[in-house]
Structure 1
Amino acid sequence: MALVLYTGPGNTNAFKALITAEYSGVKLELAKDFQLRVSNNTPEFLKMSPLGRVPVLETPDGAIFESNAIARYVAKLKADNPLYGSSLIEYARIEQWMDFATTEIYAGLVRWRSAIRRFGDICYDPTIVEFAINIFKGSLDALNAHLANNTYLVGHSVTLADIVMTCNLCWGYSCIMTKAFTSEFPHVERYFWTMVNQPNVKKVIGKVKQTKALPAVQSLRKAPAKEQAKPKEVKPKEVKKEAPPKAAEVEEEEAPKPKPKNPLDLLSPSKMILDEWKRLYSNTKTNFREVAIKGFWDMYDPEGYSLWFCEYKYNEENTVSFVTMNKVGGFLQRMDLARKYAFGKMLVIGQNPPFKVKGLWLFRGQEIPQFIIDECYDMELYEWTKVDISDEVQKEHVNAMIEDQEPFEGEPLLDAKCFK
């Protein structure tokens, strides 16, 4: 018997099991023809989940309800699953953070969401909302402090704790946690966007869009129906039949709207072919200065492209080497949407902490493309300065960054990453 998961569409609790299955190589099937609030109210379903809640996993040995329990079961189907750590203490800490994700993060979100609604005759009370937000901020402060020195919740790779935490945060980011709110917790920000862009996670949840505004205050009590006078009987007017639309008109109405072009595709053609530069960079193994660097400047089109230096604004926080390198790696992952229009080099500089993060980026056009600024939150974590190529000092700085010159600015390179 196959493992069958009963859930409605977009259920972040069901995502826990589906993501765990992706990491574990376990096949889950979604129940066919499942209708939320209909299928889960049937006697058959209530035998599997007494409260009629989803998700529910049907297994050869019986059904399991509660999302964390389902995720644990799926993870245990793979022997020695790294999602459960490599030691007893890691196992305990994974369970610890799973509980924290449920009792602090998810519960805090539910408390906050409930506070901005009105139940029955209970009026909306701003002090209750403020109380709920302050409690939730306390939980996020604790999580933010832990993530200041850790890329993941436990160990150096994704575990079941990260999957549960990410799914719970995903609900919050989508419905109630605005950018103005989450910017107070930069390490949680970095962690969340790193996690949702992991291939196994993104395959399940797709692209996450952060809410731009808090939901409106609403009442859950139906307004009493007003007694209305019996309407006078009105004879229906004779409706004049219209001729059916011609086939051509129907086709025109049903034709899908063309996808809007990226503004960068509408720029005047450039003599610089970005893919040619990327190939030259990748294929040059010797005499890099004479071949690749010279080739870059021969190709470079200052009218069609622009060069930018960037420097991380919070280098004093970069006290752990692997966390700093993972931070840069996550940034490059999220820049994938710009691959057609950009080339970049990111350097982690220094032998001892705090490490400095600096970069060089080549963008199509004369400004940093707006769609990148809008979609990649990391952009605002860096100070951006346009390169003046008439300045020989700046031009040499560009050469050194493309080449991964070491020492760089008098210091060794801890890491160098390329976006191409």
Structure 2
Amino acid sequence: MHHHRTYISLHKPYPSYTSHLSSLSVQRLGFEDWTIIVDPMALVLHAGNTNKNGFKALIAAEYSGVKVELVKNFEMGVSNKSPKFLEMNPIGKVPVLETPDGPVFESNAIARYVTRLKADNPLFGSTLIEYAHVEQWIDFATLEIDANILRWLIPRIGFAVYLPPAEEAAISALKRALTALNTHLSSNTYLVGHSVTLADIIMACNLTLGFSRLLTKKFTSEFPHVERYFWTLVNQPNFRKILGEVKQAESVPSIQSAKKPSQAKEPTKPKDEPKKEAKKEPAKPKLEEAVAEEEAPKPKAKNSLDLLPPSKMILDEWKRLYSNTKTNFREVAVKGFWDMYDPEGYSLWFCDYKYNDENTVSFVTLNKVGGFLQRMDLARKYAFGKMLVIGSEPPFKVKGLWLFRGQEIPKFIIDECYDMELYDWRKVDITDEDQKERVNQMIEDQEPFEGEALLDAKCFK
């Protein structure tokens, strides 16, 4: 039947699901009903050694006792464009598994194939319903988790057109998915049953991309059961053997600008990286190089503000006064602000969200503002802000007040925090008593504000 040496083991994983079949019907059935075990010789995975999609099959192989060899010296953008590779997958996508009976592409299909090589593999569960739930969570990990992580990350690092509303939609969809996952894991150690399944392997690999490059501790702390689940899995021996040590991202990558003088940096990054992850790094994907490159501009931009003439206003002293004032806020904190304020060294700005008509769901609007403040973390040394979400019913208005070092909005903030362009910005004229009073009201979260109730008031300090 095959040109390569194989043997076939027919077994019914779910007796209640299958009945006695003729040899002819066996040939017509795929892996859904019968396990076909291929002589596990020369299973070669074509992927880089940092490819999370390749990790799925490698971890499944560890649990299944199947030998899968990772191709040597794979270079993304070169190896996957070779004639041999394009014969296996004409569109050049990675990974591809080379088997004695021909190639398999698409990472979930490869992981399923490797898992099927072991008869009655517990990675597929032990009953028909458990098998269905494994497949359910594989789809969820792919369509709800992985897809939205990529929709958020890829444009940020310059591999797709960056559109702020699209990122907001991706973050909102990811949070929705993580909330559902968190709820499930609040009463379950694993996704299905009481041990690791293929669903956990695929979910963990997809989350690894998010945790290592995008999802900071501040972001994931909203989902404590997901955190517990993720760190438990990646520290299991079979996971750790393939993944190595996973470290959580400390910040969201800043937006990759259109300038691409990054070529000079590319040779140096791969040299630095191998020290951290030993031999895993020679095939480092360009994706990670792009993330690493983005860290460089930050110190230069911040240094430019440090070169301004000294200011009599000590920003940390104002932040302490704001935080410690619990009563008589107008008399203590607001008055203290104007006593400290240095109009030569600092400037005040009003901002108004441009797309308030889209703010029809309260939690999405609050998440939008929370995300903005999180991404403003790079400016903490040079800024103080108040963001008000206004209205008792949708659409909600978002308005803000910001104090920045210098007379203009710092350029590095405009360059690196995309949210800035979602707002109209207007410099406060402190000689105008009406504008000054509006500043006072925003600092103290006065309600009603401009005749409307406050849904929420957030502070950046």
TM-score (norm 1): 0.53
Post-superposition Cα deviations, 1:42-83, rounded to whole Å, max 9, x if no partner, equal xxx856997487979999x99569xxxxxxx89x9xxxxxxx
- Matched with 1:191 is 169
Asked if residue 8 in structure 1 is aligned to residue 43 in structure 2, the reply is: no
Deviation at 1:207, TM superposition (A): 2.0
Post-superposition Cα deviations, 1:248-302, rounded to whole Å, max 9, x if no partner, equal xxxxxxxxxxx64621011001011111111111111111111111111111100
Deviation at 1:359, TM superposition (A): 0.3
Deviation at 1:394, TM superposition (A): 0.7
Are the equivalent residues in 1 in contact too, given 2:354–2:422 (CA < 8 A)? Answer: yes
Equivalent position to 2:74, from 25, 29, 36 = 36
Equivalent position to 1:177, from 154, 157, 160 = 160
Are the equivalent residues in 2 in contact too, given 1:316–1:355 (CA < 8 A)? Answer: yes
Post-superposition Cα deviations, 1:327-358, rounded to whole Å, max 9, x if no partner, equal 11111111111111000000000101111100
Asked if residue 298 in structure 1 is aligned to residue 339 in structure 2, the reply is: yes
Alignment of 1:26-175 (within 5 A): 35-36=73-74, 51=103, 95=139, 98-99=142-143, 161-167=144-150, 170-171=153-154, 174-175=157-158
Question: Aligned equivalents of 1:312 and 1:16: distance in 2?
Answer: 42
Amino acid at match of 1:207: P
Asked if residue 267 in structure 1 is aligned to residue 321 in structure 2, the reply is: no
Question: Aligned equivalents of 1:191 and 1:16: distance in 2?
Answer: 27
Are the equivalent residues in 2 in contact too, given 1:311–1:384 (CA < 8 A)? Answer: yes
Amino acid at match of 1:36: F
Q: How many residues align?
A: 271
Q: Would the alpha carbon gap of residues 208 and 341 (structure 1) be closer, same or farther in structure 2, given more than 3 Å must change?
A: closer
Which consecutive unaligned segments of at least 5 residues does structure 2 have? 1-44, 58-68, 80-84, 86-96, 117-122, 126-132, 175-209, 221-247, 261-298
- Matched with 2:381 is 340
Deviation at 1:309, TM superposition (A): 0.3
Are the equivalent residues in 1 in contact too, given 2:158–2:255 (CA < 8 A)? Answer: no
Asked if residue 309 in structure 1 is aligned to residue 355 in structure 2, the reply is: no
Alignment of 1:358-373 (within 5 A): 358-373=399-414
**SS at 2:407 equivalent:** coil
Question: Aligned equivalents of 2:441 and 2:339: distance in 1?
Answer: 17
Are the equivalent residues in 1 in contact too, given 2:46–2:71 (CA < 8 A)? Answer: no
Q: Would the alpha carbon gap of residues 276 and 6 (structure 1) be closer, same or farther in structure 2, given more than 3 Å must change?
A: farther
Question: Aligned equivalents of 1:275 and 1:93: distance in 2?
Answer: 47
Are the equivalent residues in 2 in contact too, given 1:407–1:413 (CA < 8 A)? Answer: yes
- Matched with 2:258 is 212
Amino acid at match of 2:370: G
Deviation at 1:36, TM superposition (A): 2.8
Amino acid at match of 1:189: E
Query: CA RMSD of the aligned region, Å?
Result: 4.6
Are the equivalent residues in 1 in contact too, given 2:386–2:443 (CA < 8 A)? Answer: yes
Question: Aligned equivalents of 1:15 and 1:364: distance in 2?
Answer: 46
Are the equivalent residues in 1 in contact too, given 2:349–2:428 (CA < 8 A)? Answer: yes
Post-superposition Cα deviations, 1:110-166, rounded to whole Å, max 9, x if no partner, equal xxxxxxxxxxxxxxxxxxxxxxxxxxxxxxxxxxxxxxxxxxxxxxxxxxx133332
- Matched with 2:370 is 329
Alignment of 1:399-414 (within 5 A): 399-414=440-455
- Matched with 1:151 is none
Are the equivalent residues in 2 in contact too, given 1:7–1:34 (CA < 8 A)? Answer: no
- Matched with 1:83 is none
Q: Would the alpha carbon gap of residues 381 and 10 (structure 1) be closer, same or farther in structure 2, given more than 3 Å must change?
A: farther
**SS at 2:381 equivalent:** coil
Post-superposition Cα deviations, 1:17-46, rounded to whole Å, max 9, x if no partner, equal 9xxxxxxxxxxxxx99974359xx9xxx85
Question: Aligned equivalents of 2:411 and 2:428: distance in 1?
Answer: 18
Amino acid at match of 2:359: N
Question: Aligned equivalents of 2:101 and 2:396: distance in 1?
Answer: 51
Are the equivalent residues in 2 in contact too, given 1:16–1:167 (CA < 8 A)? Answer: no
Question: Aligned equivalents of 2:400 and 2:56: distance in 1?
Answer: 35
TM-score (norm 2): 0.49
Question: Aligned equivalents of 2:55 and 2:448: distance in 1?
Answer: 46
Which consecutive unaligned segments of at least 5 residues does structure 1 have? 18-30, 66-72, 77-87, 100-160, 215-258
Post-superposition Cα deviations, 1:227-262, rounded to whole Å, max 9, x if no partner, equal xxxxxxxxxxxxxxxxxxxxxxxxxxxxxxxx6462
**SS at 1:334 equivalent:** helix
Deviation at 1:178, TM superposition (A): 2.6
Asked if residue 350 in structure 1 is aligned to residue 378 in structure 2, the reply is: no
Question: Aligned equivalents of 1:286 and 1:327: distance in 2?
Answer: 30
Q: Would the alpha carbon gap of residues 371 and 172 (structure 1) be closer, same or farther in structure 2, given more than 3 Å must change?
A: closer
Q: Would the alpha carbon gap of residues 206 and 377 (structure 1) be closer, same or farther in structure 2, given more than 3 Å must change?
A: closer
Are the equivalent residues in 1 in contact too, given 2:168–2:368 (CA < 8 A)? Answer: yes
Q: Would the alpha carbon gap of residues 208 and 293 (structure 1) be closer, same or farther in structure 2, given more than 3 Å must change?
A: closer
